[in-house]
Structure 1
Amino acid sequence: MATSSAPGRVLAYLESAKNLTGSACGLAGLALTFTGLAGAYWPVVIAGLYGAGALLAPPARPRPPDFPDASSPLRTLRDDFARLRVYLDQADLPPAAADRLAELTELLDGLLAPGRVSDVLSADPEGVHTLSRAVHQDIPESVDTFLRARWWSGVSPGREPPERHLERRLELLRRETEELAAGLREAGSRRRQPHTRRPEDRGGP
């Protein structure tokens, strides 16, 4: 199995940004060689430029899942959330952002799990839309934006660290999800009230 996957890993590196950037820099070193500027050390110049280009290239990052429709029904939303969890597990996040993301995904998992809460949620189109937007758009876009900006922040220091923006975004999403969960619990409680009051009403004067 290891031998069969080796060609795939080689092909993936050949197509990676590190190899492409390093190759471009290596070609620049080759041009210096032809002009005579590299001198007798032209192999070292080419190898050094390739290595520098590979180091400066942005690191590889997981691709966010491609969701076909952001208005999926609740049963499909559960499957999409599972796909999102796979993507999030591959994302390299700093500890503070990872903790906030874990709190958010735990809330979403509780809301989407089959049961009493999801039964109330299925009757709330606005609530389903809010969770659908979080799963299909808000969370993957926030994480992918951080993964893109993290490399640029190292190239251009002095700006606000991108993890701070990610932490604030995840915190806002967590609060929004908590408000939705509280509303669903209240709606579920109101739905059960008529069943508990009916025996009391029959016992009245």
Structure 2
Amino acid sequence: MMTVRTILGVCGVVAVLSTAACGSTQVGMTAAPATTAPALTDTRYGPLSAADMKLMTLVQETSIREITLSQWALQRSTNPQVRAAAQMIVTQHVQLQKEDLAAAAKLGVTLPDRPSADMQVGIDRMSQESGKTFDTDYANSLRQAHGEAFILIAQVRADTRNSVVRPLADSANDFIKMHIQVLEKTGDVDYSQLPVPDAS
């Protein structure tokens, strides 16, 4: 038979264990620190995000690169499908670049006047190519680049709060889908070089 002292001792141990358990539960349930919201720049057309500005920069750099490469394709390629892709890409990137520069002027954003360093590497490489080597490099380089840009365009179009960026993203989205399709029609795209889609 348990004495009063024994009972009190057991209760004390239970109380201590309960407190310890609750304490560790509380530590485990501590909320993660809030993440900092992306910075926005106020404009008369609505807030401008870093992703918005990244899109405008990408459109400008890509237009310079792809107009150059596609003009080479028109001069060098004997593949009618490559030439058709190149003609569409030149025409539409000239239009898209005008829209991009007009949007940047409205928003007070300064855009680069040359491609990024990594884009220039590809331009330099392809400047030395001809024939089938050029056609294959042209189709695959542009197809991969368009796939990467497609993701950014979709994100910006889905989330931008800026009324000037929205129509630019619409134009970029419409053109890039056509460019992907016409590049794939060349027969030179190696799909094994494309990244595996991430389901997360």
TM-score by length of 2: 0.28
Higher helix share: 1
**Using CA pairs below 8 Å that are at least 6 residues apart, which structure has the higher relative contact order?**
2
TM-score by length of 1: 0.28
